[in-house]
Chains A and B, each alone.
Chain A
Amino acid sequence: MINISKEEAGYILVDVNLTEANLSHSDQFKSELIALLNDKQRSIWLNMQQVSYVDSSFLGALVTGLKHAIALKRDVVLINLQKDIDDMLKLIRLDKVFKIFSTEEEAQQAIA
Chain B
Amino acid sequence: MTANYVFTFDNRPENITQCSRTILAYLEPLLTENGQSRALLLRAKFIVGELLNNAVKHSGTEKTDIEVSLEEKVLTINKIDTGAPFNLVSKIEKQDAQLIVSSDVMHLLYAIKKDENSVSFFCKENLTFELDVNKLAEHLGLLIITKAADEFTYHYHQPTNIFTVKLNLSR
Contacts and interface: CB of A to CB of B under 8 A. Distances in A.
Nearest to B56: A23
A56 B137 CA distance: 11
Interface string B138-155: 111101100110000000
Interface string A69-107: 010000000000000100110011100110000000000
Interface in B5-40: 13-14, 16-17
Interface in A1-52: 20, 22-24
Contact of A56 (B14, B53, B125): B53
Interface residues of B, number: 28
A93 B53 contact: no
A59 B125 CA distance: 18
A48 to B, nearest CB: 17
Interface residues of A, number: 23
Given A56-B139, A60-B138, A63-B138, 16 more contacts: A22-B53, A23-B16, A23-B57, A24-B17, A53-B49, A55-B16, A56-B50, A57-B141, A60-B140, A66-B136, A67-B134, A70-B133, A91-B46, A92-B107, A92-B147, A93-B125
7 contacts: A23-B56, A23-B57, A56-B53, A59-B140, A66-B133, A67-B134, A96-B131
Closest 7 CB pairs of A and B: A56-B140, A60-B138, A56-B141, A24-B13, A20-B17, A55-B49, A23-B13
